[in-house]
Amino acid sequence: MNLEVKGVHFEVSDHIRDTIDKKLKRIDFAKDLIVDQLFTLTKTKNGYKVECTTNFRWGTSAHVGVDTVGLMEGLDILFDKLAQKVHKEKEKIQEHSSRTHEAAEE
């Protein structure tokens, strides 16, 4: 899985990168399904905008984003949303492949 972390209007520190790496363990259940992820952390006038685009190996992509005052709290919320989104996408694929498999047996 390719990972890119980009900061807009501020420099992304090693601490922030380490935090993202640690939080990525929450979606380890689907790491073989993900091709790449792009995190964009934008400093705004009122706080931060934290976004992630996830590209799956079957060509679908998912985008989640959060506007927040604190960067670390924004990352927490983002990873909650991201884990739900990845889980939902994985279920869709498993559902689809099981239906395809059942149809082939008939």
CATH number of 2-105: 3.10.129.10, 3.30.930.10, 3.30.160.100, 3.30.70.2190? Answer: 3.30.160.100
In the predicted model, residues of the chain with pLDDT beneath 50 are 101, 103
| pLDDT at residue 97, as a whole number | 64
| pLDDT at residue 94, as a whole number | 78
Predicted TM-score (pTM) of this structure: 0.84
- Cβ-in-10-Å burial (0-12, 13-18, 19+) of 63 comes to exposed
The domain segmentation of the chain, as residue ranges, is 2-105
| pLDDT at residue 106, as a whole number | 53
CB 88 within 8 A of CB 95: no
